[in-house]
Amino acid sequence: MLLFEKNILILEKKIKDLRASAQNDSSLEDSVRQLEATLADKIQKKYKNLSTWEKVEVARHPERPKATSYINHFLTQQTPISGDRLFSDDQAIVCRMGFINQTPAMVIGQERGHDTQSRIKHNFGMPKPEGYRKAQRAMQLAERMGIPVVTLVDTPGAYPGPEAENRGQAEAIARCVDVTLSLRVPVVSVIIGEGGSGGALALTAANTVFMLEQSVYSVISPEGCASILWRDSAKKEKAAEALQCSAQHLYKLNLIDAILPEPIGGAHRHPDKVVQSVKSAIHESLLSFQQYSPEQCRAQRREKFLSLTRTQPC
């Protein structure tokens, strides 16, 4: 439950109960409609004025669509790519090849899971080195086949455990960025939830980077930032504002290419609409690169990131 939605959730429950009663008493239907109008107004007003920290909370909502929700909706004739051929098959990163509206694509998603069992299976969306090496293998396979790459980013960060560090976590992330930048096929990235630290950066060195309206993207979590700067993780709201990690902040800084709108109330309330919107944006972006030669794809991506060093203050 989102704390700032407490009154909204109470009203939703009241409407649900009243709607159940209205099945046996038609005189209650007007009351239901009035409450629904009040609810819609409350949600609209609140979601138009979210603080940066509240956006972080929405991005982390457990009912927000996950990477596999998108993949299973818009990718047909799926073929999974498993393992890094070095150590194991990291479940935090899902790689599947298939078609998006008849356009072939390699889709790489960071999967957080939707319940306790699946969250444990997918390590809460925190990839280990073998996950990033699996992503590299999938991207290089896509390049050999001449098909574009799509990445769906949703992670609190790369797994920080000692075993991951012992297996070369930093090198795996850096190599993943290097491989992404060097690809001769189009790369489209969508931040669908939380884009945390280098764990997200590894998959966002793309020709086009989209962010969902209520997603976030930052070099560190607000809690981690607060612990370092103020020695107090409770100052996470202040840290979130300082990080400027919302889609709106990052678009103004030219760090992303476009914001994909979410229905009022967030993706967790209208998952089907959001999934369809993301599918359309990805497909349109892929079509826009069909006229690019392999070298043009790589050159456009290189220039895109080099230009940031010329326009952003040091």
Residue 311 confidence (pLDDT): 56
Alpha helices per DSSP H over 102-259:
116-121, 129-145, 162-166, 169-182, 197-201, 222-229, 236-243, 247-252
Q: State the first-to-last Cα distance of the chain, in angstroms, to the nearest integer.
A: 39
Gap between the Cα atoms of 63 and 189, Å rounded: 21
| CA 151, chain centre distance (Å) | 9
Residue 151 near residue 131, CB atoms below 8 Å: no
Is 138 in contact with 81 (CB distance < 8 Å)?
yes
Token output for 214: 């209520």
Asked if 111 contacts 77 with a C-beta cutoff of 8 angstroms, the reply is no
Q: How far is CA 20 from CA 13, 15, 28, 29, 33, in A?
A: 11, 9, 10, 10, 13
Encoding tokens for residue 187? 């790369």
- The two three-digit tokens of residue 167, written as one number: 């297996």
Q: Residue 110: its pLDDT value, please?
A: 97
Q: What pLDDT does residue 1 have?
A: 65
* pLDDT for the residue 46: 87
Q: What percent of the chain has pLDDT over 70?
A: 96
In this predicted structure, what is the pLDDT of residue 210? Answer: 98
At residue 241, the pLDDT reads 94
* Cβ–Cβ under 8 Å, residues 137 and 176: no
The reported pLDDT for the residue numbered 312 is 54
State residue 296's pLDDT score: 96
Give the model's pLDDT for residue 9: 84
Low-confidence stretches of the chain (pLDDT < 50) are 314
119/283 Cα distance (integer angstroms): 29
